[in-house]
Amino acid sequence: MSNTAGQVIRCKAAVAWEAGKPLSIEEVEVAPPQAHEVRLKILFTSLCHTDVYFWEAKGQTPLFPRIFGHEAGGIVESVGPGVTDFQPGDQVLPVFTGEGVMLTDGKSRFSIKGKPVYHFVGTSTFSEYTVCHVGSVAKINPAAPLDKVCILSCGVSTGLGAALNVAKPKKGHSVAVFGLGAVGLAAAEGARLSGASRIIGVDLNPIRFNEAKRFGVTEFVNPKDHKKPVQEVIAEMTGGGVDRSIECTGNVQAMISAFECVHDGWGVAVLVGVPNKDDVFKTHPMNLLNERTLKGTFFGNYKPRTDLPGVVEKYINKELEVEKFITHSVPFTEINKAFDYMLRGEGLRCIIRMGD
């Protein structure tokens, strides 16, 4: 047992007090884990665009003050009653599955001077310690370097799974990937591993195209370079449409284009991006009658506890490279820089080092 087990831990957390304002590092109280919960010491976390959406309050229900963060790696500090499959010291990745409060009792485990601070998607990893339900934690190989595999806790696994588990391109297929951030480039990796012969990257940010070459993207389309809708450009490039498309932007127009650029008869489009709360997906029903398929996925259809350890093994066995997704690294005190990089569309993933 750790000597902090059963006690409130006081530690540093990056608190979002209001939408769109820089996070502030505060001392927070982290309550001990309750039944079927574990308390984690977070060692590395990174920023995914989903954190940014909710911080900008474009997501569903804005809740503040809140501790964001869901792409991370850490170790179990202590376990709550009834937890038998985790022990202090286990190396884990948390996975988003939850809300602003804990499932067990509808309360928060975080507070500042006794006043509650909301959780985020059951993970809240922008804190030195956090409490998660056991269902949102995956035990992984203790030999895996957390400063690398932490990014498998959301974005990279999501993109990879969107390709391998949901779009399932066949050998020789053409695949369009909308949005060439970490999620989209992981989808491109998945398409490449599946044997896709053409991988068409679509992004509004031309800087992305250089990075994307290292991820097997074979052709690029910037919608801004064309007068006609990008789905028509892609249909012309491919003789009627791509076999598969994977949308990783969060922009509803890109979602519609991703659906409308697949081939009649067999094309499959997969939506991964998180839309804004008032977005409406509009397309002519004939597009569906023409036997195109529209799908969507959370976490690339991987089951967190049972499938994520296997994705980590892919990295250990050198079947999956994660280093190339990591373009920045900052100490915890400079966490707001990670937001700046993402808002400027600079780089892919920024690792936030909790220990520094």
Nearer to ligand NAD, 179 or 304 (CB): 179
Nearer to ligand NAD, 76 or 258 (CB): 258
How is residue 56 annotated by DSSP?
A: T
Least distance in Å: CB of 187 to ligand NAD?
Answer: 9
Least distance in Å: CB of 178 to ligand NAD?
Answer: 5
Nearer to ligand NAD, 242 or 342 (CB): 342
Residue span binding Zn ion (CB under 5 A) among the ranges 9-17, 29-37, 42-50, 108-116: 42-50
Least distance in Å: CB of 71 to Zn ion?
Answer: 5
Residue type for 219, please?
E
Length of the chain: 356
Kindly state whether residue 48 participates in binding ligand NAD, applying the rule CB under 6 A: yes
Kindly state whether residue 127 participates in binding ligand NAD, applying the rule CB under 6 A: no
Among 98, 125, 88, 96, which Cα is nearest to 110's?
125
Q: 43: number of CA atoms within 13 Å, CB side?
A: 17
Q: 88: number of CA atoms within 13 Å, CB side?
A: 11
Kindly give, in sequence order, each residue whose CB lies less than 8 Å from that of residue 249, ignoring residues fewer than 6 positions away.
178, 179, 184, 255, 273
Kindly state whether residue 299 participates in binding ligand NAD, applying the rule CB under 6 A: yes
User: Contact with Zn ion (CB under 5 A): which of 9, 14, 15, 48?
Assistant: 48
Nearer to ligand NAD, 78 or 238 (CB): 238
What's the burial of 290, exposed, middle or buried (CB within 10 Å: 0-12/13-18/19+)? middle
Name the token pair of 52. Answer: 């940014």
Among 326, 327, 324, 350, which Cα is nearest to 337's?
350
Residue span binding ligand NAD (CB under 6 A) among the ranges 1-9, 12-20, 173-181, 321-329: 173-181
Nearer to Zn ion, 4 or 97 (CB): 97
Name the token pair of 342. Answer: 């993402």
Cα gap 22→216, rounded to integer Å = 35
User: Contact with ligand NAD (CB under 6 A): which of 64, 209, 266, 298?
Assistant: 298
Least distance in Å: CB of 158 to ligand NAD?
Answer: 4
Cα gap 80→78, rounded to integer Å = 7
Return residues touching ligand NAD (CB under 6 A): 48-50, 53, 154-155, 158, 178-184, 202-205, 208, 223, 248-251, 253-254, 272-274, 297-299, 342, 345
Return residues touching Zn ion (CB under 5 A): 48, 50, 154
